[in-house]
A = this chain, B = another copy of it.
Amino acid sequence: MTGLGELEPHMTIKYVYSFAEGDGKNKQLLGGKGANLCDMTQFGLNVPPGFVITTEACLAYLESKTVPAGLMDEVRAHIQKVEGQTGKRFGGSDNPLLVSVRSGSALSMPGMMDTILNLGLNQNTLRGLIRQSGNERFGYDAYRRFIQLFGKVALGVPDRHFDDEFEEVKRRAGVKADIGLDAAHLKGISERFLSIVRHHTGKPFPEDVFEQLEIAVQAVFNSWMGKRAVDYRREFNITPDQANGTAVSIVTMVFGNLSEDSATGVGFTRNPGTGENEMFGEYLVNAQGEDVVAGIRTPKPVQEMKREMPALYDQLLDLRGKLEARYREVQDFEYTIERGTLYCLQTRNGKLNAQAFVRTSVEMFQEGLIDRRRALLRINPAQLEQLLHPQLNPQGRQRPLAQGLPASPGAASGRCVFDADRAELLGKAGEKIILVREETKPEDIHGFFAARGILTSRGGRTSHAAVVARGMGKACVAGAEGIRVDVSSRQAFIGDLALREGDLITIDGSTGNVYLGEIPTLPPKFSEELKTLLSWADEAARLKVMANVDTVEAARLAVEYGAMGIGLCRTERMFNAGDRLPVVIEMILAGDANARRAALSKLLPMQRSDLKQLFEILSPRPVVVRLLDPPMHEFLPSEEQLTSEIEALVQYRSVVKGRYTAVSTLGIASSVNDLSEDSVNAVIAKKQQMLRKVRELYEVNPMLGHRGVRLGISYPEIYEMQVSAILEAAAECRQAGVQAMPEIMVPQVITAQELRRVKASVDNIQAQIESRHGCKLSFKFGSMVETVRACTRAASVAEVAEFFSFGTNDLTQATFSFSREDAENKFLPLYTESGILLNNPFEVLDVEGVGVLMKMAVEYGRTVRPDLEVGICGEHGGHPASIRFCHQIGLDYVSCSAPRIPIARLAAAHARLLEDEGAAA
């Protein structure tokens, strides 16, 4: 009963760390930027003095909606320290200390948070700054920037009021660039800005510098819960254990716009678009940092600095070397040169496109900078998709409509949309969109998500549009200055040409060209670096990567992409070809098994020859052939279509022959002269037969109906034909000296009894073919595991099946009791947006539901058959997180569409390399 108070002392949490004391590894506490500033300071780079307010302070603020007790006292103490280091004074009129206030969370979210520069300016310190710099124009320029940023970010004044005012002054002064404005102009602008703030907030602009600082810190905190930040976290599934709250970095301002030997720039230690090992970046002389990032002025490539400021360029090269040696990763850094002194303001891992990631991985390994593990792990497998994007077909290329900077490689076609809200709207409606803007800002982020490509008329390769598009792997052409965008009329003008919303254009982010219309594309080619990297991945991985392939073309592509076999060949897709479909329909319409067999005997040689080609292309790799799965009515026209066709034909028959047009639209005969009444009657009879069959086959829930092995058991002759085709093709291959490795797979299995039925027939056919061809056939017989019951009965299923292949599309549907098409059209968007589900389970494997069943099936199956081969052939087989789960539960392979094979190969390596980290997916 005594001393309880002593057991719970009043803990004072430390909310602020100077750059010299913060732990450079603790991004969760200090944010990425803050930790980085600490790290850079501590390993000896020239960083302007400053300090970091922790994410804990942010969370405490957001919870209580008040600035945590003691925080501002700590801030004051650290300001004092900085005053000591710089000899400046915060709020002082002689040598005033100005600071920047930046946000930064554990994960880099480019542009998500707003930054305030030049904080500490007021009427008093402004005079000091002018006096000290001897540059009135510089002073008012800094002041008007501060008022606008603070007004917008901290006080919520709409940006356009400032912009309009600024443009108006420029217009009146008759100047094009900011640089053309003189001190008087800028002074006038500052005064107008102050009155804009007063007008909008109802209060004068705060003069007290600590009040400014406190308001700014709160604004940064609040931005964590802003719509853009929340959107971004949702889009990328960022959970609190990855990033929770934002830190605030407060850094002494240094000025790139103090003089002509001042400059500001951003750079990458290697080219983020190609991976080339050369410094990459842009700078502006006599300018402040925001001018570069916002793309307001078009900067110069860093290579020009070599000529213009050779000594500083050498310092930059030195900085680049230090950064890569320290971080073993391509760095994206910001710097300012104030009167000849280089300050490093920030560095972070560079967002590279896939090509650059691949090249730098291979080269940094060769340079000894990183090991193979890191070379593989530093690339997000999903990003490889960029490399598999189609490129413009040179033959289809027209004269470009306009040209800009090649800001993010890849080609994209889509309909022009001129603002992010419309882009989001139309994108969700399924349109292919190109977002066309004068320039983009962070508030456009939802438009990026919706668009296939971004085109801007202003800004360089490090402008917001370029950086964000590269991060997302979307094509971007930036700074296409020939284009004038008029958002209000939803048009853009290129010379005399008006582009309206909805017009089709194509952009090529690799060349910067913009074309009218949709240009045909070519499939992408593998680079040598990618081949090298993926061969390392294959060595590292345990999972094999197979392909879902139904055609000869796709099979060739799959082999080129490194497929280790075909994991899913859907035989029914072969049925849909023009010469097969009529025979398939004949089979479906057959009145009895004999008539069905007659039709099937025509399909057999076609299916056999298709399969033989696949076996040849894949030889000696395995080819898993799935027997017929979809319900038979899928091969027939719809009831509506048949009804209206019959109606039209009957009508035709009853009218004069002159009315040709009514019939020609039906595509029954190329020339209506062919149509005798008898032939029309015959067509009507055929259609009526089809209609009766369609009605007979009608199902209330076709996904839950007569399909898969249920068909195979109802009409054994269908599977007999397919098995014959598979085994005969294998026998023919063998006779031709080609090693064929077929695996026969049965869909929709719910019990081992079904498999036993089919197996008996397979054994029978095998014996016949072996005796006919005089050879022994080697193949496997296995089961799709795509019903829940196949999972719970996996032990007995494995008594018959030599392999399992998870059909996670159907399994997901069964687990959730909703079908993909019905869910995605109705309630699923609401479910994922409101967080009821984290992901669309048809895209990201649902580990907690479907995964539980998969794990059960693997365990039960291997109890009975320890060497049971298990794979996955649903769409999830190409999704990295799903692949990781498949690795964890001991699958042997994943199978996915050919273009996703490189992704899957890298993801398989990741899964193995990260397995020690034991993180559950």
Contacts and interface: CB of A to CB of B under 8 A. Distances in A.
How many of these chains are in the complex? 2
Interface in A795-826: 810, 813-819, 821-823, 826
Interface string A738-762: 0000000000101101100100000
Given A753-B836, A815-B814, A821-B700, A853 B705 contact: no
A827 B701 CA distance: 14
Given A704-B819, A788-B815, A789-B848, 13 more contacts: A704-B822, A705-B818, A705-B823, A705-B826, A706-B827, A710-B818, A713-B830, A751-B837, A787-B815, A789-B817, A792-B853, A793-B848, A813-B817
A835 interface: yes
A104 to B, nearest CB: 31
B792 A849 contact: yes
Interface string A497-518: 0000000000000000000000
Interface string A404-418: 000000000000000
Contact of A789 (B706, B819, B846): B846
7 contacts: A700-B819, A700-B821, A701-B701, A788-B817, A788-B849, A789-B846, A793-B848
A787 B830 contact: no
A816 B792 contact: no
A15 B706 CA distance: 49
Contacts of A819: 700-701, 704-705
A710 B787 CA distance: 23
Given A710-B827, A827-B713, A810 B817 contact: yes
Contacts of A826: 699, 705-706, 710, 714
A702 interface: yes
Given A814-B815, A814-B817, A700 B822 contact: yes
The 3 closest A-B pairs by CB, nearest first: A789-B849, A704-B819, A792-B852
Residue from A750, A817, A835 with most neighbouring chain B CB atoms (10 Å): A817
Interface in A466-495: none
A814 B750 CA distance: 11
Contact of A787 (B704, B786, B787, B817): B817
B703 A700 contact: yes
B827 A714 contact: yes
Nearest to A708: B817
A714 B702 CA distance: 25
Contact of A753 (B710, B713, B837): B837
A788 B786 CA distance: 13
Contacts of A699: 822, 826
Interface string A826-849: 110011001111000000001011
Interface string A704-729: 11100010011000000000000000
A465 to B, nearest CB: 36
Contacts of A788: 788, 814-817, 849, 853
A837 B710 CA distance: 12
Contacts of A703: 700-701, 704, 817
Nearest to A818: B704
A734 to B, nearest CB: 34
A571 to B, nearest CB: 20
A689 B700 CA distance: 24
Interface string A677-709: 000000000000000000000011111111000
A767 to B, nearest CB: 23
Contacts of A786: 817
Interface in A847-873: 848-849, 852-853
Contacts of A787: 815-817
A792 B837 contact: no
Contacts of A714: 826-827, 830
A706 B849 contact: no
B836 A751 contact: yes
A793 B705 CA distance: 27
Contact of A813 (B704, B818, B853): B704
Nearest to A699: B822
Given A702-B700, A815-B814, A848-B793, A754 B836 contact: yes
Contacts of A705: 818-819, 822-823, 826
Residue from A750, A788, A810, A814 with most neighbouring chain B CB atoms (10 Å): A788
Contacts of A848: 789, 792-793
Nearest to A703: B701
Nearest to A757: B836
A749 to B, nearest CB: 10
A408 B7 CA distance: 82
A756 to B, nearest CB: 9
Contact of A816 (B700, B789, B813, B823): B789
A71 to B, nearest CB: 33
A633 to B, nearest CB: 11
A814 B826 CA distance: 20
Contact of A704 (B701, B835, B837): B701
A754 B836 CA distance: 6
A711 to B, nearest CB: 8
Nearest to A826: B706
Contacts of A849: 750, 788-789, 792-793
A836 B713 contact: yes
A853 B787 CA distance: 13
Contacts of A817: 703-704, 748, 750, 786-789, 810, 813-814
Contacts of A818: 704-705, 710
Nearest to A705: B822
Interface string A755-792: 00100000000000000000000000000001111001
Interface in A413-443: none
Nearest to A860: B852
A719 to B, nearest CB: 14
Contacts of A853: 788, 792
Contacts of A751: 836-837
Contacts of A704: 701, 703-704, 813, 817-819, 822-823
A590 to B, nearest CB: 17
A710 B828 CA distance: 9
Interface in A82-109: none
A822 B826 CA distance: 23
